[in-house]
Chains A and B, each alone.
Chain A
Amino acid sequence: MDPIIAAFELVMTWQVLTTLLMAALFGLLVGAIPGLTATMATALLVPLTFFMDPIPAVGAMVTCAAMAIFAGDIPSALLRMPGTPASAAYSDEAYAMTRKGQAETVLGACVLFSAIGGLFGTAVLIFAAPALAEIALNFSSPEYFWMALLGLTCSAFIGAASPLKGAVSLLIGLFVATIGLNNPAGVPRFTFGSTEMMAGIDFIPAMIGLFAVSEVFRTIAAGAPPWEGVQGKVGNIFRNWGGMVKTYWRQQIRGNVMGTLIGILPGAGADVAAYVSYAVSRRFSRTPEKFGTGHLEGIVESTSANNASLSSAWIPALVFGIPGDTITAIVIGVLYVKGMNPGPTLFLFNPQTIYAVFLIFILANLLMVPLGWVAIKLAKRLLQAPRTVLMPIILAFCIVGAFGSNNTAYGIIVMLVFGVLGFFMEENDIPIAPCILGIVIGPILERNFITTMIKSDGSIVAFFDRPIAAGLGVFLILVWLSVLVGVIRQRRSGQMSEADQT
């Protein structure tokens, strides 16, 4: 018990607690501004940590990242601008709820299930880190290839209302992902000799364009009508928490487990976790037809998953120094500077420091509830502003975010192009979320396909000759078959009912 008491002593000082609070507020602010990501928030903290003690330094980064991922849900639900890619999977759904006047319900659910998801991931991190990191280390390119393909399948065929239109959107995203130099062969593709295009299409300005700018265009085209639903007063976000946990306990646990599992893998992060969870939720729902119309079920599952994966991304980082995502990549550098070198020895020789870090994880997720409440309360006032005033302000924020993602005006051009694209896609009922996933996962899919083929000298058998890869491959083929069978059955029953009528 001694190290645990020592850990409490390390954390429960006013210095550490003030640092955590400041970092939380900072993370909340950055996360809530679309275009500024959790990774960016963490990177901005790095120079400050040079002058801090190890525990507040690491604590500040943990807290800041957790807050930023949750805060991404706020503009996502209120303005349909996902603050981070991890919120993009259920942005449409959450915004639909806001339009029905249920903003406080959906945001309340986001706070609650983000915090629970984060705590679940932390629990796994505390109790099973070394064993799970061992499994994650066995993942090589064929396994990641199947994972990426599974993610894409989920978004296009299971997560979308119309599989065909989902596939169209996904293909647009995959095409965009091929632009630039960042492919395994290092060959420029579709760059037209432009240096900026060599960098490819950054998904942050693309995401802002597809979701937020297209919404601005649509509002203007419709003459900025007032909100459809009646906005309740600044409602009580805590209302009905008990009911939600009771109704959606299955979804929540499934989201937690799925998020944790995906987060452990160094090649997949919070965004993939959210997409897969949303699709799983729809697949196993008793009321899949309600998805996309402002239904809480899928949101609960995917918001749990993205925060759970954020905590479990630390498992390979702490045990082997292999970053689970870009945020942990930054933190690993800071761990070294502070003399807390990641590795199995961290758990053996410095248990009080590692317990202190765990304690901070728990505190950060608990802190999310009161701070999230304040942030939502402030942000909800946005909805009381007339839309003719709100839309230009949103556009201004979009421009700032698109510029800020890589500090270049090129980001703004990308944003505008994708704004127009998003507008036309939605006018034709093509969903946007699969396109975003295509941009994010396309490079992962291609890279792992090519590297596997290089390793095996072009033999396709490589995708099945390792046990985990074979298991994932067979599972994916079964998923495809079940989708296919479902489509055929639907056709048949459709024909039969037609036949009955005639």
Chain B
Amino acid sequence: MLRRTLLGLMASAGVVAGILPLATPAMAQYPDRPLTIIVPWGAGGGTDATARIIGSLLEKELGQPVNVTNRTGGSGVVGHSAIAEAEADGYTLGIATVEIGMMHWQGLTNLTWEAYTPLALMNEDAAGVQVSADSEYENLEGLLEAIKSSPAGTFRASGTGQGGIWHLAIAGMLNDKGIDPALVSWVPSEGAAPGLQDLVAGGVGIVPCSLVEARSLIDAGRVKSLAVMSPDRSELFPDVPTLKEAAGSDWQIGAWRGIVGPKGLPEDVAAKLTEALKTVYDSEEYRGFMEKQGFGVRWAPAAEFGDFMDKSNKALGETMKAVGLAK
């Protein structure tokens, strides 16, 4: 009780002193009860871990408990819908992922990024091109040549479900290089870990997941990465060339995560949350956590995050149509 009163006093003091220039009187009261962050993916995954670290740091910033709950299933549709359908009072937020710009193209839902109030982009991990360590291909050029000159189905890739982000990554890359994406057959899997295991077991030849997901197997000398689909090299593996360097392609794609609220969040509430998230993003705890996990960090506040989602949505849609994944 004392803590809450103190925080209340401090918040009001902040308003009075004009430390928070955008503040209105309503803000002094928000938040006065616990918040919930909905995660559309299962406990134990990267999105879950990111949401939980953000949640625990946000708790310090806002002075209210932040509960992280998982609403899984339906390839992310269920959780994303739950965030959009929540009451727009700032007490139920969610962590949106790249799939929000993909599932509506597949006809799974009507939801798009426009169903949300964008608060802050917190992370992005670019796709990579991983092959088994004993693979004969030493660089991406060689691999692409071999794909081009072999019959369809010779090369198989895995790492996520049918039409998932990594499926799109490799299809988009091939498309960009003028190679028919259908030459590489996609083997659906429940995420990157089973895909990578199948790569080592010899079941598939390519896993286009992010480098962080392949990290332990790259470190163990079982898997090698031929390229990363981002503008700059990864800090985690500076020896892996970018796609531009390796194959002269401008194709870039990655999985991102950001905090959103339902559409129509009060402006003062949204502003306060974005500001708190900025402090979280800049904190040593967040940076340290993401660096150690190997996750990339990327920041975009409110409207900028909205533009980012808009662009991501259009780019994904174009690629999905080009490779025949959109309905």
Contact = CB atoms under 8 A, between A and B. Distances in A.
Contacts of B34: none
A139 B201 contact: yes
A345 B106 CA distance: 43
B44 A202 contact: no
Interface string A104-147: 00000000000000000000000000000000011111000000
Given A342-B216, A343-B216, A450-B188, A181 B162 contact: no
A137 B196 CA distance: 10
Contact of B56 (A42, A50, A184, A322): A50
A185 B188 contact: yes
A138 to B, nearest CB: 5
A267 interface: yes
Contacts of A138: 201-202
Contact of B203 (A42, A140, A319): A140
B237 to A, nearest CB: 13
B99 to A, nearest CB: 11
A181 B56 contact: no
A432 B217 CA distance: 40
A21 to B, nearest CB: 23
A326 interface: yes
Contact of A266 (B45, B197, B203): B197
A182 B190 CA distance: 9
Contacts of A339: 292
Contact of A47 (B52, B75, B108, B194): B52
Interface in B127-165: 153, 156, 158, 161-163
Given A181-B73, A337-B293, A447-B190, A320 B43 contact: no
Given A329-B193, A454-B187, A407 B70 contact: yes
Interface string A174-211: 00000011101110100000011011101000000000
A196 B108 CA distance: 12
B198 interface: yes
Nearest to B204: A455
Contact of A406 (B73, B185, B285): B73
Contacts of B46: 333
A320 B222 contact: yes
B115 to A, nearest CB: 13
B109 interface: yes
Interface residues of B, number: 59
A47 B73 contact: no
Contacts of A406: 70-73
A186 B197 contact: no
B78 interface: yes
A38 B158 CA distance: 29
Contacts of B204: 455
Given A140-B201, A451-B189, A199 B194 contact: no
A214 interface: no
Contact of B220 (A46, A320, A323): A320
B58 to A, nearest CB: 11
A333 B293 contact: yes
Interface size class of A (residues with CB under 8 A): 35 or more
Contacts of B106: 186
Indicate the member of B48, B158, B220 with the most A CB atoms within 10 Å: B220
B108 A447 contact: no
B324 interface: no
Contacts of A342: 216
A186 B49 contact: no
A322 B75 CA distance: 22
B78 A195 contact: yes
B109 A195 contact: yes
A469 to B, nearest CB: 11
B200 interface: yes
A336 interface: yes
B75 A50 contact: no
B293 A336 contact: yes
B220 A198 contact: no
Interface in B199-229: 200-204, 215-217, 219-220, 222
A332 B187 CA distance: 25
A329 B43 CA distance: 9
A189 B49 CA distance: 30
Nearest to B214: A321
Given A198-B73, A322-B197, A186 B55 contact: no
B187 A137 contact: no
Interface in B61-76: 68-75
Interface in B16-61: 42-46, 48-49, 52-53, 55-56
Given A138-B201, A321-B215, A47 B43 contact: no
B43 A182 contact: no
B195 to A, nearest CB: 10
Given A186-B163, A344-B220, A322 B196 contact: yes
A186 B75 contact: yes
Interface string A311-332: 0000000011111001101101
B2 to A, nearest CB: 22
Contacts of B77: 181, 195, 198-199
Given A50-B53, A50-B289, A321-B215, 13 more contacts: A39-B44, A42-B43, A47-B52, A47-B55, A137-B222, A140-B202, A141-B187, A186-B106, A198-B74, A198-B77, A199-B72, A199-B74, A345-B219
30 contacts: A43-B44, A43-B70, A138-B202, A139-B197, A140-B197, A181-B74, A186-B75, A188-B108, A199-B74, A319-B220, A320-B200, A323-B44, A326-B42, A327-B44, A329-B44, A329-B45, A330-B44, A336-B292, A336-B293, A336-B294, A345-B220, A406-B70, A406-B73, A447-B188, A447-B190, A450-B188, A451-B189, A454-B185, A454-B186, A455-B204
